[in-house]
Amino acid sequence: MFSQFSRSATCMQMGSEMPETYTVSAAERQFYEDNGYLVIKGLIDFTCLYGCKQRFIKICNGVVARGAMTVVKEPSLIPKGVKGEDLINKVSDIHFDEVFSTYTEHPRLLHVVAQLIGEPLRVSNSMLINKPPGSVRHPPHQDLYYFPFRPAEKIIGVWTAIDDVTVENGCLYVLPKSHKRNILYPHGNLPDSNKMYHGILDPAASEEPRAQLEMSPGDTVFFHPLLVHGSGPNTTRGYRKALTAHYAHEGCHYIDVQTSDAEQGSVQRALAAEVEAEAKRRGFALNFTDVWRYKSKSIESKALQSKL
């Protein structure tokens, strides 16, 4: 296993007892730039995690309407007849929800994001991933593949453990330094993975030694959108809940992935067609770029607000 740099933010505490900021050290920033990821232990408080977990369970049980959120079932479990929390793989687009936004707009989280990519910020994607027992792997992939905006250096992913996350229940793994290749690889559907969980088609691109990111509740990893990463299957009898979101600097620009000379965008054509077809199925006549404009939300960190 690769060694990974991480610094404890403090032990897990109630939200009111934690400071609203977290200053990234010079060593942490350098580690992120060199390796493409950074783990900060205990960054998110128990109150936030518990509230989001209960919100998810209520959605699974039909107690709370899903609204504009998308509830995704685990396809491999549908034939088994399981229901509710045992069937739901994830809930997407949670950053418009009043409870889940306590995570996506968490002041400590935004403070770190702002230090790594600058501000003002836009949250462009968010999920609570449940990964129930029997869930399959997420193959090696790069998050930039899903986004029609650039530059990559002004985009960042965050992922926070709600439950204890281990190799056995499908923790994240990363290929340190893979972002430095500055290559967006062709992706596609791979065996033993779900729809839209595209993976890198060239096996050689993800053969290097992996760092397995086993994490405790509240631990948070920040990662570059070109970093090759994935997760294993959940082989345990428990869940592997996590919160995740992606942020982009408001100064990012959109590219046309259908144009062959777009900056690495041509490899996203098949994905764009798939996304546009899904939008049409739901009654929306949107192109790939419009889908992401529609899904994103402008936000401000407390640090930025204090300057105004």
> What are the pLDDT digits (tens) for 68-123?
899 998 888 888 888 899 999 999 999 999 999 999 999 999 999 999 999 999 99
Distance CA 154, CA 88 (A): 32
Provide the pLDDT for residue 258: 80
Chain mean pLDDT for the chain: 90
* Whether pLDDT at 8 is above 70: no
Closest residue by Cα to residue 236 from 174, 173, 172, 166: 166
pLDDT band at 191 (very low <50, low <70, confident <90, very high): confident
The answer on pLDDT for 222 being more than 50 is yes
pLDDT > 70: percent of the chain: 89
d(CA 242, CA 284): 29
Residue 112's pLDDT is 98
User: CB burial class (10 A; 0-12, 13-18, 19+) of residue 78?
Assistant: exposed
Higher pLDDT, 195 or 245: 245
pLDDT band at 194 (very low <50, low <70, confident <90, very high): low
Q: What is the per-residue pLDDT across 153-177, written as a single tens digit (0 to 9) for each?
A: 999 999 999 999 999 999 999 999 9
Label residue 303 by pLDDT band (50, 70, 90).
Answer: low
Ranked by mean pLDDT, the top range of 36-45, 69-78, 135-144 is 36-45
- The CATH number of 43-301 is 2.60.120.620
pLDDT of residue 79: 85
Three-class DSSP labels, the chain: CCCCCEEECCCCCCHHHCCCCCCCCHHHHHHHHHHCEEEEECCCCHHHHHHHHHHHHHHHCCCCCCCCCEEEECHHHHHHCCCHHHCEEEEECHHHCCCCHHHHCCHHHHHHHHHHHCCCEEEEEEEEECCCCCCCCEEEECHHHHCCEECHHHEEEEEEECCCECCCCCCEEECCCHHHHCCCCCEECCCCCCCCCCEECCHHHHCCCCEEECECCCCEEEECCCCCEEECCCCCCCCCCEEEEEEEECCCEECCCCCCCCCCHHHHHHHHHHHHHHHHHCCCCCCHHHHHHHHCEEECCHHHHCCC
pLDDT over 50 at 307, yes or no: no
pLDDT at 23 over 90: yes
Phi first, then psi: what are they for 73, rounded to 5°? -85, 155
Average pLDDT over residues 136-150: 94
More confident residue, 194 or 285: 285
pLDDT at 189: 84
**What's the pLDDT tens digit per position in 243-300?**
999 999 999 999 988 875 666 667 898 899 889 998 899 888 899 999 999 999 999 7
The residue count of the chain comes to 308
Q: What is the pTM of this model?
A: 0.92
